[in-house]
């Protein structure tokens, strides 16, 4: 018998070759370039080449290499059904109504959310949200203290408020005295208080107090749409946005000194009422240790108390924030 050699091992039959010398003839080999010495399956593929479920991820890089047929794999190679609920991070699961029951200032449930409840995000939404939060944290941690923020152009627009801390924002050259500024239909020209949602760069940084060494505790996004429709925002349906209809700002320093007060009251304090019914806000509590595991998007953190921020880990507020306090938390 004449054997024909074509660049690989000989199978014993004329014209049959095994280019990568893995024991599977080229005619039956789905992976003809397997590195020498790698174990292969009946199709001639090693784990670094094989994609058993056909989702675009080779088995060696696929946390779920056998996704059931008919199910859609997410960007990490796993279908929603393959990721147990207990394996999903806390920020992908929120409970309650999301609008701060019995918290006064936080009771801002928009009609858009009537009848809705929060819950567990899909695995793909969870992956996307996690990546967005990671980017936001990396950006905000450039200014870990009030001193860092104010030295870099952030302005305190809201002094310490129960449940929220301060609100620092970049205003640039904006002033309420600018030509064309209308407090009844405000546009904050030259600032990021606009119509753009940028998950990576929240508009407001929130600190534990107005002291120069006060630590960053959270941040908030602020986006203009209209009076009825919140921004599309984050993946999933847990980021419930709220509106502060009217805030009184001091004319000299653009500092909030009242909410939903009359024009007369505001003017008596040398302020101007700005109507903000088209602007929507949401917070995220993802800065260590200021987490809120009941609802990452809650309006308030329980340890930012009326008398000031509590950093005492034995304070019961931390049990509430970490979901250990029991009961339903409607934040």
Give the DSSP letter string of 69-113: TTPPB-TTS-BGGGS-GGGS-GGGB--S-SS-TT-GGG----GGG
Q: Does residue 131 contact residue 199 with C-beta atoms inside 8 Å?
A: no
Query: What pLDDT sits at residue 143?
Result: 98
The domain spans of the chain are: 1-50, 96-321
Q: How many CB atoms lie within 10 A of CB 122?
A: 15
CA angle 185, 190, 196 (to 5 degrees): 70
Residue 71 banded pLDDT, cuts 50, 70, 90: confident
CA distance 154 to 148: 9
Instruction: Specify the range with the lowest mean pLDDT, choosing from 3-12, 161-170, 206-215, 231-240.
Output: 3-12
Which range of 88-92, 104-108, 147-151, 324-328 scores highest in mean pLDDT? It is: 147-151
CA distances from residue 106 to 83, 301, 331 in whole angstroms, order as listed: 34, 10, 8
SS3 268: helix
Q: 198 — phi, psi (to 5°)?
A: -120, 100
Q: Given a cut of 80, is residue 53 above it in pLDDT?
A: no
Q: Is the dihedral of CA 208, 209, 210, 214 positive or negative?
A: negative
User: In percent, how much of the chain has pLDDT > 70?
Assistant: 88
Query: What pLDDT sits at residue 144?
Result: 98
Query: What pLDDT sits at residue 108?
Result: 63
Omega cis (within 30) before 289: yes
Contacts of 268 (CB under 8 A, 6+ apart): none
Tokens of 101: 């029951």
pLDDT, tens digit, 9 for 90 and up, residues 100-139: 444 333 456 788 898 888 999 999 999 999 999 999 999 9
Residue 203's nearest CA partner among 184, 218, 187, 183 is 218
Q: Is the dihedral of CA 199, 165, 121, 62 positive or negative?
A: positive
């Amino acid at each position: 018998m004449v054997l024909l050699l074509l660049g690989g091992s000989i199978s014993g039959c004329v014209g049959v070759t095994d280019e990568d010398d893995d024991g599977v003839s080229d005619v039956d080999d789905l992976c003809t370039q397997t590195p020498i010495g790698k174990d292969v399956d009946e199709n001639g593929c090693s784990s670094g080449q094989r994609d058993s479920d056909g989702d675009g991820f080779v088995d060696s890089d696929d946390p779920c290499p056998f996704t059931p047929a008919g199910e859609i794999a997410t960007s990490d190679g796993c279908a929603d059904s393959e990721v147990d609920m207990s394996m999903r991070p806390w920020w992908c699961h929120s409970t309650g109504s999301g609008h701060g029951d019995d918290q006064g200032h936080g009771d801002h449930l928009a009609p858009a959310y009537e009848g809705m409840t929060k819950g567990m995000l899909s695995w793909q939404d969870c992956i996307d949200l996690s990546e967005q939060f990671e980017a936001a944290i990396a950006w905000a941690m450039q200014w870990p203290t009030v001193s860092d923020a104010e030295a870099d152009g952030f302005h305190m627009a809201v002094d310490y408020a129960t449940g929220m801390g301060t609100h620092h924002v970049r205003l640039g050259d904006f002033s309420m005295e600018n030509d064309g500024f209308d407090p009844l239909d405000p546009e904050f020209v030259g600032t990021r208080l606009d119509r753009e949602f940028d998950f990576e760069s929240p508009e407001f940084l929130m600190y534990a107090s107005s002291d120069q060494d006060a630590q960053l505790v959270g941040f908030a996004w602020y986006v203009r749409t209209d009076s009825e429709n919140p921004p599309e925002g984050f993946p999933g349906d847990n980021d419930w946005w709220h509106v502060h209809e009217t805030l009184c700002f001091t004319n000299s320093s653009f500092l909030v000194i009242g909410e939903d007060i009359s024009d007369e009251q505001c003017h008596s304090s040398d302020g101007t009422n700005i109507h903000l019914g088209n602007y929507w806000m949401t917070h995220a509590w993802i800065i260590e240790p200021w987490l809120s595991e009941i609802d990452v998007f809650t309006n308030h953190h329980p340890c930012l108390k009326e008398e000031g921020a509590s950093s005492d880990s034995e304070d019961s507020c931390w049990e509430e924030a970490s979901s250990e306090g029991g009961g339903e938390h409607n934040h």
